[in-house]
Structure 1
Amino acid sequence: MKLQRYVAVTGAGLIAVATLAACGSNNNTTTASSSSAPASAGASSSASSAISCGSGTLTAAGSSAQKNAIDKFTKDYQTACSGATVNYNPSGSGAGVTSFEQKQVDFAGSDFPLSGADVAKANARCTGGEAVDLPMVPGAIAIMYNVTNVTTPLNLSAANLAKIFNGKITTWDDPAITKDNPGVTLPMTKITTFHRSDKSGTSFNFSNYLNQTDAADFPAKANKVWPGTGGQGENGSSGVAQAVKTTAGGIGYAELSYASSNNLQTAKVGNAQGQFVTASTDNASAFIAKAKVNQNGNDIQLAFNYAYSDPSAYPAVLVTYEIACDKGNDATQLPLIKGFLSYAASTTAQAELPAAGYVSLPSNIQSLVATAVNALS
Structure 2
Amino acid sequence: MKKTFLLGLALVVTSASAQSLTGAGASFPFPLYSKMFAEYKKESGVDVNYQSVGSGAGQKQITERTVDFAGSDNPMSDESMKAAPAALVHIPTAIGAVVPAYNLPGVTEPLKFTGKVLADIYLGKIKTWNDKAIAALNPGVTIPPLPITVARRSDGSGTTFVFADYLSKVSTEWKSKVGVGNSLQWPVGTGARGNDGVAGVVKSTPGAIGYVELVYAKQNKLPFGSVQNRAGKFVLADNGPAAQAARGVVIPADTRVSLTNSANADAYPIASFTYLIFYKEQKYGNRTAAQAAALKKMLTWMVTTGQQFNEPLDYAKLPDNVSSKAKALINSLTFDGKKI
- TM-score normalised to structure 2 length: 0.89
Aligned identity (percent) is 35
Write the mapping of 1:251-270 to structure 2, written as runs, cut at 5 A: 251-270=209-228
Once the two structures are superposed, residues 10-65 of structure 1 have per-residue CA deviations (whole angstroms, 9 ceiling, x without a partner) of: xxxxxxxxxxxxxxxxxxxxxxxxxxxxxxxxxxxxxxxxxxx7322100000110
Structure 2: give runs of 5+ residues left out of the alignment: 1-15, 335-340
For the 8 Å contact 1:204–1:224, the answer to whether it is kept is yes
Q: Does 1:152 align with 2:115?
A: no
2:23 to 49, 60, 83: 60
Matched AA of 2:90: D
For the 8 Å contact 2:101–2:223, the answer to whether it is kept is yes
Deviation of 1:228 (Å): 3.4
For the 8 Å contact 1:196–1:226, the answer to whether it is kept is no
Indicate the structure (1 or 2) with the bigger Cα radius of gyration: 2
For the 8 Å contact 1:54–1:339, the answer to whether it is kept is no
Deviation of 1:287 (Å): 1.4
Structure 2 distance, partners of 1:290, 1:55, is 41
Matched AA of 1:328: Q
Q: Does 1:222 align with 2:180?
A: yes
SS of residue paired to 2:105: coil
Name the residue aligned to 1:189.
146
Q: More relative contact order in 1 or in 2 (CA 8 Å, sep 6+)?
A: 1
1:200 to 157, 164, 173: 157
Matched AA of 1:153: P
Q: Does 1:77 align with 2:31?
A: no
1:247 to 196, 201, 205: 205
Name the residue aligned to 2:278.
324
Deviation of 1:189 (Å): 0.2
For the 8 Å contact 1:135–1:322, the answer to whether it is kept is yes
Deviation of 1:229 (Å): 1.1
Name the residue aligned to 2:4.
none
Once the two structures are superposed, residues 163-187 of structure 1 have per-residue CA deviations (whole angstroms, 9 ceiling, x without a partner) of: 0111010100001100110110011
For the 8 Å contact 1:54–1:335, the answer to whether it is kept is no
SS of residue paired to 1:302: coil
SS of residue paired to 1:350: helix
SS of residue paired to 1:266: coil
Q: Would you tell me which structure has more helix in proportion to its own residues? A: 2
Deviation of 1:314 (Å): 0.5
Deviation of 1:303 (Å): 4.0
SS of residue paired to 2:173: coil
Structure 2 distance, partners of 1:185, 1:226, is 33
Deviation of 1:291 (Å): 2.2
For the 8 Å contact 2:94–2:317, the answer to whether it is kept is yes
SS of residue paired to 1:328: coil
Write the mapping of 1:1-377 to structure 2, written as runs, cut at 5 A: 54-82=17-45, 84-122=46-84, 124=85, 126=86, 130-216=87-173, 219=176, 220-295=178-253, 299-304=254-259, 306=261, 308-310=263-265, 312-329=266-283, 330=287, 331-346=289-304, 348-377=305-334
Structure 2 distance, partners of 1:113, 1:255, is 17
SS of residue paired to 1:160: helix
Structure 2 distance, partners of 1:197, 1:368, is 33
Matched AA of 1:273: A
- TM-score normalised to structure 1 length: 0.80
User: How many residue pairs end up in the alignment?
Assistant: 314
For the 8 Å contact 1:159–1:217, the answer to whether it is kept is no
Structure 2 distance, partners of 1:54, 1:112, is 31
Structure 2 distance, partners of 1:322, 1:168, is 36
Matched AA of 2:72: S
Once the two structures are superposed, residues 203-229 of structure 1 have per-residue CA deviations (whole angstroms, 9 ceiling, x without a partner) of: 011011011111135532111113431
Structure 1 distance, partners of 2:232, 2:312, is 28
For the 8 Å contact 1:294–1:303, the answer to whether it is kept is no
RMSD over aligned Cα, in angstroms? 1.5
SS of residue paired to 1:87: strand
Structure 1 distance, partners of 2:52, 2:259, is 25
Q: 1:305 to 1:113 in 2, by over 3 A?
A: closer
Q: 1:227 to 1:358 in 2, by over 3 A?
A: farther
For the 8 Å contact 2:259–2:271, the answer to whether it is kept is no
Structure 2 distance, partners of 1:145, 1:203, is 17
SS of residue paired to 2:108: coil
Once the two structures are superposed, residues 259-281 of structure 1 have per-residue CA deviations (whole angstroms, 9 ceiling, x without a partner) of: 11111101000111211110111
SS of residue paired to 2:268: coil
SS of residue paired to 2:257: strand
Structure 2 distance, partners of 1:366, 1:202, is 22
